[in-house]
Amino acid sequence: MTIKDAQEQVDQWIHQYGVRYFSELTNMTILMEEVGELARIMARTYGEQSFKESDLSGNLPDEIADVLWVLLCLANQTGVDLEDALQKNIEKKTARDGTRHRNNESLF
């Protein structure tokens, strides 16, 4: 599935099952909630925090997909072509950071 395919599939789902998109501000807030849920799993799986009983049902792939879902919704709502935006972002990072990280001794 391409990013464009994902955007189209989310849009179709919203119109078929979700009635309409939530407002952009609501979706931005939902994105923050989803990132928080992902952060909780990351902190407990890879960080020093221990799991609580309520955390044990956490599913890392599902939480990452939840974040992506809301990002796709926001892109659709605001008319952003994520494939194009990502490609331009990669080009920007390459031009800006092409050698910077290789010259950072703390990364080796």
pLDDT of 36 reads: 97
Q: How far apart are CA 24 and CA 41, in angstroms?
A: 26
What pTM did the predictor assign? 0.89
Q: Answer yes or no: is pLDDT of 21 > 70.
A: yes
Over pLDDT 90: what percentage of the chain? Answer: 80
HEC string for 34-54: HHHHHHHHHHHHCCCCCCCHH
Q: 3-96 adopts what CATH topology? A: Helix Hairpins (1.10.287)
Kindly report, residue by residue over 61-82, the tens digit of the pLDDT: 999 999 999 999 999 999 999 9
pLDDT at 13 over 70: yes
Q: Are 10 and 69 in contact (CB under 8 A)?
A: yes
Domain boundaries, the chain: 3-96
Query: Residue 56: what pLDDT?
Result: 67
Distance CA 84, CA 2 (A): 12
For the segment 56-63, the average pLDDT, to the nearest whole number, is 86
